[in-house]
Every structure is written in C-alpha cells, then in structure tokens.
Amino acid sequence: MPEAVAYLFYRMKLVVEPSGALDLAALLSGAVPVQGMVGVILSGGNVDAETMGQILKANAVAA
C-alpha cells in the first residue's frame, strides 16, 4: 500500500491517504487481474506530514 501512495505522489502529483489508495495497490501488486480498461477511485488526503514523509522516504525514486 505505501508503494501506491508514493506512486500517486511522484507520478500523478496527488496526495492520497493509504486507505484511499487500496484499489490501486491491489492493481499494482497483481492481486486483481486486469482485463481491458480499469478505473479506480482515489479518496482522502487526510494523511499527516510525518506519515507521508515516512512513506515517501521508504519509497523514494531517483530523480
């Protein structure tokens, strides 16, 4: 799940709380098979700065 939050932040420039990124996390992990076009609902930006910092630090990408 933290990987999905970091992906959304770095690639999509979105701040989404961890529970709001569960559907994307399931897709990225391969837990849900993808056939055709898929839509996801992203919700919530209620994540404190310390938690977001820990997530981003643990999932940093090279610039």
Q: How many CB atoms are located within 10 Å of the residue 21 CB?
A: 26
The CA distances from residue 50 to 13, 43, 61, in Å, are 18, 19, 18
Domain ranges of the chain: 2-58
Dump pLDDT digits (tens) for 4-61: 999 999 999 999 999 999 999 999 999 988 899 999 999 888 899 999 999 999 988 6
Q: Is the pLDDT of residue 63 over 70?
A: no
